[in-house]
Amino acid sequence: MNISQQLGRLKRGFPRINRFPRFLILLVASIAAIQLFILPALTQQPVTVRFLVQALEGAQWQPFVEKFNAKNPDINLEIVAGPNDTNLVEDLYTSAFLLGDSPYDLVYMDIVWVPKFAAAGWLRALSDRVSQDKLSEFLQGDVDGGTYDGELYRMPLRSDGGMLYYRTDLLNQAGYEPPETFTDLVKISKDLQKQGIVDWGYVWQGKQYEGLSAMFVEILEGFGAFWVNPDTLEVGLDQPEAIQAVEFLRSTIEERVSPPGVTTYAEEETRRLFQSGKTVFLRNWPYVYSLASDSEIAGQFAIKPMVHTPDTKSGACLGGWGFGISKSSKHPDEAWRVIEYFSTPEAQKEYLLSTGYVPSRRSLFTDPELVAKYSYLPELLEVIEQSVLRPPIAQYAQASDILQRYLSAALTDRMSPEEAMQAAAKETRSLLGRTG
Ligand code: GLC
């Protein structure tokens, strides 16, 4: 073997000698990196806490969720946007609970879902997590609406109450005061329509969905009628005043005070019609105020309590939303931290200032910054404190479904108001076990 052969062998040998330690070094380095950096990073992955929310509100939530996540790096709060109709969102939560192992840790709940979700055992009790003192800072109706069988299942976030919107400029132009009674409302509407000032008089939610029931309890109250007495389970839908309430709504369509399409409208369709300047009156929730203030009718409308008959008082349906924790959530403590964060006066105020939703905390109704933007808040507090409840019973979803079906049949002329309400009352009685 000459010298160059020896050198060649040496070169070939080199890598063989070197490869082993390099590989070893790499292995040791990788193990160290995994232990030092990757594993800790993996184990510190933020815990995801998720909730489902109506599409419109989902977009409004986004910046607040981002802010929460920035302040709480160990939690990844995530929203899933659902449909806009509250009962469709309720159906999605319901299917998730029925399938078991719900993907939602938090349950962002409409006030009317609480008895059903609590009775079904889908929610965790919250009473141990919050003191009575803290709860007393919220509206009593909102706390009661989150309570079932003496146990708290929902922390209120925002309240709600149906109101009457009216165009101040058009009423001034025609020399009218805002209406107090159903008769005033129809009279002013017809006059403004006749003068060609406006296409429609009054728009409301007439589609067959939960919003129809919410709107209808206000008309019932205005006629001195009721739906179900939650204490006695007595059903009032077939009483003469309740039938008159349906006749009133139907007459607004027949007399063309309301557009024929009103029987297909939910909140958003009616808001758009009002904002486009096509109607003088609108029944809706206060969220419309801030959105309409950015529209072509900005500064030309106001809100007031709903109209009624001369012998009764107006009724606002109590609505509102808050958070519960799903029974199957694997992260109830993190979910509670989210609730705590959004329950503070500061977080609520920020959310309400930007969205125009109604406070649940009493003090926020008179907060100077909120009142500067939403001047109706102090009056709304009184209205909401005397608001009308949809029956807080575990069978609420079915009872509402019955009412929506028959009301819709009467409004679209498939049944007379009397037939429809008699059938609705009968079915509701049998649902509640009061057939005798
Ligand atoms: C609003 C109310 C809610 C009600 C719903 C009806 O979101 O806050 O309580 O059920 O409207 O559409």
- The tens-digit pLDDT sequence of the chain (436 residues) is 454 554 445 445 444 445 556 666 666 666 666 665 565 555 678 999 999 999 999 999 999 999 999 999 999 999 999 999 999 999 999 999 999 888 999 999 999 999 999 999 999 999 999 999 999 999 999 999 999 999 999 999 999 999 999 999 999 999 999 999 999 999 999 999 999 999 999 999 999 999 999 999 999 999 999 999 999 999 999 999 999 999 999 999 999 999 999 999 999 999 999 999 999 999 999 999 999 999 999 999 999 999 999 999 999 999 999 999 999 999 999 999 999 999 999 999 999 999 999 999 999 999 999 999 999 999 999 999 999 999 999 999 999 999 999 999 999 999 999 999 999 999 999 999 976 4
- Ligand 1 pocket test target in 89, 110, 205 with most atoms within 8 Å of CB: 110
- CB of 142 closer than 6 A to ligand 1? no
Tally of CB atoms within 10 A around 176:
16
Q: In 3D, which of 276, 252, 277, 247 has the Cα closest to residue 262?
A: 252
Rounded to the nearest whole angstrom, what is the distance from the C-alpha of residue 86 to the centroid of ligand 1?
Answer: 6
- The sign of the torsion formed by the CA atoms of 223, 224, 228, 233 equals negative
Question: What dihedral angle (degrees, nearest 10) is formed by the CA atoms of 402, 404, 407, 411?
Answer: -150
Q: Which two tokens stand for residue 422?
A: 């008699």
Check if 47-160+318-388 and 163-317+392-431 are the same fold: yes
- CA 386 from centre of chain: 20
Any ligand 1 atom below 6 A from CB of 210: yes
Token couple for 144: 């009661």
Q: Is 112 in the pocket of ligand 1 (CB under 6 A)?
A: yes
Tell how far the Cα of 360 is from the centroid of ligand 1, in angstroms.
15
Residue 115 CA to residue 423 CA, distance in Å, equals 25
Output the six-digit token pair for 208: 């067959």
Query: CB under 8 Å to 163, separation ≥6 — which residues?
Result: 283, 284, 285, 286, 303, 304, 305, 306, 316, 376, 380, 383
C-alpha 228/C-alpha 259 separation (Å) is: 30
Q: How much distance in Å is there from the Cα of 140 to the middle of ligand 1?
A: 18
Residue of the CA atom closest to atom 6 of ligand 1: 211
Ligand 1 mean position to 5 CA, how many Å?
A: 90
Of 374, 393, 386, the C-alpha closest to 432 is: 393
Q: Tokens 């052969």 appear where?
A: 5
Q: From CA 83, how far away is CA 69, in angstroms rounded?
A: 24
Burial-class residue 343 by CB neighbours within 10 Å (0-12, 13-18, 19+).
buried
Gyration radius of the chain over CA positions: 29
- Checking 287-291 for CB contacts under 8 A at 24+ apart, the result is 287/160, 287/355, 287/356, 287/357, 288/165, 289/165, 289/356, 289/374, 289/376, 290/355, 290/356, 290/373, 290/374, 291/356
Nearest CA to ligand 1 atom 4: 319
Copy the structure tokens of residue 236: 């009032």
CATH superfamily assigned to domain 47-160+318-388: Periplasmic binding protein-like II (3.40.190.10)
d(CA 426, CA 239) in angstroms, rounded, equals 12
Q: Quick check: CB of 106 below 6 Å from ligand 1? A: no
Q: Whose CA is nearest to atom 11 of ligand 1?
A: 211
Three-class secondary structure of residue 332 per DSSP: helix
* Residue ranges covered by each domain of the chain: 47-160+318-388, 163-317+392-431
Q: Which class in CATH covers the domain with range 163-317+392-431?
A: alpha beta
Q: Is the CB of 204 under 6 A from ligand 1?
A: no
CB of 319 within 6 A of ligand 1: the answer is: yes
